[in-house]
Amino acid sequence: MATPHDQLLQKISRLPAARVAEVEDFVDFLAQRDRDAERQLAGAAAAASEPAFAKVWDNPEDDVYDRL
């Protein structure tokens, strides 16, 4: 029994070259969308943590590091 991956490869192999290029473009689009979503999630997590760390980051003892 073929795996879903193998079934997809078989279907793609039966497509004309122009359609294979479209499939490749779509796969690239999906990969980019996933990377963008991961960046957004990381940014949201960083933004959410800022208030929790504000007391640690913003203190007179560490002002010297703000000028680096």
Which H or E element spans position 52?
helix 17-57
Please give the Cα distance from 55 to 65 (Å, whole number). 15
Cα dihedral 51→54→56→60 (10° resolution): -170
pLDDT for 53 = 84
Mean pLDDT by 10 residues, the chain (68 residues): 94 97 97 95 92 80 77
**What are the sequence ranges of the domains in the chain?**
16-66
Q: Which residues lie closer than 8 Å to 20 by C-beta, 6 or more apart?
A: 12
pLDDT at position 64: 79
Contact status, residue 12 vs residue 23, Cβ threshold 8 Å: yes
pTM (2 d.p.): 0.59
Q: Which two tokens stand for residue 68?
A: 């680096």
